[in-house]
Chain A
Amino acid sequence: AQTVTQSQPEMSVQEAETVTLSCTYDTSESDYYLFWYKQPPSRQMILVIRQEAYKQQNATENRFSVNFQKAAKSFSLKISDSQLGDAAMYFCAYIRNAGNMLTFGGGTRLMVKP
C-alpha cells in the first residue's frame, strides 16, 4: 500500500521569506502523480501544484515550486516570498497513474508571521 508522510506538523515563516515543506512517500509503482493541496481556514482544498513522476523537471507555479527526488521518494514544496495568505494547512498527496484514490499525508500547518 502507498503511504505519504509529512514529518513537519507545523512550520512558520516570516512574511517575504522562503519556506520548504517536506513530504516523503512509499510506492512500488513507477508511474504516478504527486500533488500539494492547500487548505485555508475556509476548509476548501485548493490544488497548488502537480508533478508527473515521468517528468524529471520540477514543477513550478508562480511562487510555488517543488523538489522532486524520485529515487529518494521525496517531494518537497518551496514557497518563495511568503505572503499572509499562504497561511494554511498543506497536504501532500499521491495517486498512481489511472488510479482512483488520492493518498494524503497528515498535513503541515504553515503560519506566516508579519
Chain B
Amino acid sequence: DAGITQSPRHKVTETGTPVTLRCHQTENHRYMYWYRQDPGHGLRLIHYSYGVKDTDKGEVSDGYSVSRSKTEDFLLTLESATSSQTSVYFCAISEDIAGGRNTQYFGPGTRLTVL
C-alpha cells in the first residue's frame, strides 16, 4: 500500500468555522491531489499539486484552498465551512515517471461533517 495518511480521519465542525485537512506521504511522489466523494458519486477533483508551492484548481475548487510547503505534506483548507462541504475527502498521490504519473493511489479518507 502507498504510504499515505490523512488527518483527522473524522471531524465535525460548525458552519462558518475554518477547517484544515492534512495529507502526508512517505513515497516522495511529486504529484498530490485532493478529491471529495459525495453519496452515490465517484470522486471529484478539488485541487492538485505538481510540486512544492505549485498548485492548481480542479473541477470543484470553489470554497477551498490548498498549500504545499514540503514534498510530503498537502493541506486542504475550508476557509469558512458550509453544509455543502459535508463530504468524504480523499488525498491521492502519483509518481513523476512515464506512465506512473497517470496512476493515483489514495489515502484512507477523512469524513467531514459541517453542522
List B contacts of A104 (CB < 8 A): 41-44
List B contacts of A106 (CB < 8 A): 40-42
List A contacts of B56 (CB < 8 A): 100
* Bound-complex Cα distance A31 to B59 (A): 21
Of the residues B41, B58, B108, B111, contact of A101 by C-beta under 8 Å: B58
* Bound-complex Cα distance A99 to B111 (A): 27
Given the known interface contacts A45-B43, A47-B105, the answer about A100 and B48 at a Cβ–Cβ threshold of 8 Å is yes
Number of interface residues of A (CB under 8 A): 26
CB distance from B97 to the nearest CB of A (A): 12
The residues in A between 50 and 80 inclusive whose CB is less than 8 angstroms from any CB of B are 50, 52
List B contacts of A98 (CB < 8 A): 101-102
Q: Of all chain B residues, which has the CB nearest A32? A: B102
CB distance from A36 to the nearest CB of B (A): 12
List B contacts of A46 (CB < 8 A): 106
CB distance from B68 to the nearest CB of A (A): 14
List A contacts of B92 (CB < 8 A): 45, 102
List A contacts of B84 (CB < 8 A): none
Q: Using a CB–CB distance below 8 Å, which chain A residues touch chain B?
A: 4, 33, 35, 37, 42-47, 50, 52, 91, 93, 95, 97-107
